[in-house]
Amino acid sequence: MRLPMTRTRFLSLALSFVAASVTATPQASAATPVPVSTSTSVRATTESIVLAGGCFWGVEAVFQHVKGVTSAISGYSGGDKATAHYAIVSSGRSGHAESVQVEYDPAVVTLDTLLNVFFTVAHNPTELNRQGPDVGTQYRSAIFYSTPVQQQTIAAFIAKLQASKVYRRPIVTVVEPLKGFYAAEAYHQDYMKKHPDQPYIVFNDKPKVANLKIRFPELYVEG
């Protein structure tokens, strides 16, 4: 059975069709930067973590169904603002990873629980610079932390996971400080909700959400 085309090829074909009929300025299609705030006076009841685990469509969709998550935004992290555009990121030369900024209420769901979901259903942390049919450093497994507490929590979680020997292969997830998160273009946001029958979504991402419901029924919420 022939597998569905990769997400990048699908988008390339779709966007070529759109470009033929609509002329857009570079500013119109650019990713929107999301400032990283260190203030504790604004939205003090929520925290955020940036996770990269392959195509951001599926990671975003998984966390949109997790109880306590207030928002999940697809975007880019690891590179510079100037290269935070899908056309550049998809080349694999921008330094960015497709990422999801997960904002959550720590009174409802802990970072440890979010990491458990990330490592067990949102992606495979043993695949180096790829996830499923998508290959390249832009699909690497990574976590971008913004506080020392997050860094310590992540390091402890990964150490525990490695010690448990749940995976037969080494965990290759990179943990690094968050330099910036840039929201992806509008057409990437809520992609699974907008295109539930798109072949890539059906084959690669819907099973992740279904697995979340099976493995973490107490966390699963309809979204």
For residues 125 and 141, the answer to whether their CB atoms sit within 8 Å is yes
Does the annotation count 17 as an active-site position?
no
For 80-118, letters b (16+ CB in 10 Å) and e give eeebbbbebbbebebbbbbbbbbbbeeeebebebbbbbb
Among the options 50, 52, 55, 111, which is catalytic? 55
Amino acid at 99: S
Q: Which residues are tagged catalytic?
A: 55
